[in-house]
Amino acid sequence: MPRPMHLAAHFPGVNNTTVWADPRSRSQIDFSSFELLARTAERGKFDFFFLAEGLRLREHNGRVHDLDVVGRPESLTVLNALAAVTDRLGLAATVNATFNEPYELARRLATLDHLSAGRAAWNVVTSSDAFTGENFRRGGYLDRADRYTRAAEFVATARELWDSWTPDGTSRPFAHDGTQFTISGEFTVPRSPQGHPVVIQAGDSDEGREFAASAADVIFTRHGTLEAGRVFYADVKARLAAYGREPGDLKIMPGVTVVTGDTDAEAQERAAGIRRQQVSPQNAILTAEQIWGTDLSAYDPDGPLPDIDPVPDSEITQGRVRHGDPFATVARWRAVSEAKGLSLRQTVIETTTRQSFIGSPRTVAAELTSFVDERAADGFILVPHLTPSGLDDFVDRVVPLLQESGAFRSEYTGSTLRSHLGLPEPVWKG
| Residues contributing to the site for ligand FMN (CB under 6 A) | 52-53, 94, 96, 125-127, 202-205, 208, 220-222, 255
CB burial class (10 A; 0-12, 13-18, 19+) of residue 278? buried
What is d(CA 324, CA 291) in angstroms, rounded to the nearest whole number?
Answer: 9
Amino acid letter at 246?
Answer: E
Q: How far is the CB of 123 from ligand FMN (least distance, A)?
A: 7
Our CB check for ligand FMN shows the closer of 63 and 323 to be: 323
Our CB check for ligand FMN shows the closer of 323 and 429 to be: 323
Question: Where is 421: in which H helix or E strand?
Answer: helix 417-421
Which residues partner with 382 through β-bridges?
9, 256
Q: How far is the CB of 15 from ligand FMN (least distance, A)?
A: 9
Q: Where are the beta strands (DSSP E) in 37-78?
A: 48-51, 59-60, 63-64
Q: How far is the CB of 430 from ligand FMN (least distance, A)?
A: 31
Q: How far is the CB of 233 from ligand FMN (least distance, A)?
A: 15
Q: How far is the CB of 94 from ligand FMN (least distance, A)?
A: 4
Q: How far is the CB of 336 from ligand FMN (least distance, A)?
A: 25
CB burial class (10 A; 0-12, 13-18, 19+) of residue 71? exposed
Q: How far is the CB of 318 from ligand FMN (least distance, A)?
A: 13
Our CB check for ligand FMN shows the closer of 244 and 324 to be: 324
Taking only Cα atoms into account, the Rg of the chain, rounded to an integer number of angstroms, comes to: 22
Our CB check for ligand FMN shows the closer of 52 and 215 to be: 52
Our CB check for ligand FMN shows the closer of 176 and 320 to be: 320
Our CB check for ligand FMN shows the closer of 222 and 362 to be: 222
Cα angle: 324, vertex 330, 334; to 5 degrees: 145
Q: How far is the CB of 285 from ligand FMN (least distance, A)?
A: 25
Our CB check for ligand FMN shows the closer of 16 and 94 to be: 94
Q: How far is the CB of 377 from ligand FMN (least distance, A)?
A: 13
Our CB check for ligand FMN shows the closer of 17 and 127 to be: 127
Our CB check for ligand FMN shows the closer of 118 and 208 to be: 208
Q: Is the dihedral of CA 196, 79, 8, 50 positive or negative?
A: negative
CB burial class (10 A; 0-12, 13-18, 19+) of residue 134? exposed
Contact 152, 211 (CB under 8 A): yes
- What DSSP string runs through 71-114? ----HHHHHHHHHTT-SS-EEEEEEESSSS-HHHHHHHHHHHHH
> Could you tell me which residues come within 8 angstroms of residue 70 by beta carbon, excluding any fewer than 6 positions away?
57, 64
Contact 326, 234 (CB under 8 A): no
**Angle subtended by helix axes 147-162 and 102-115, to nearest 10:** 50
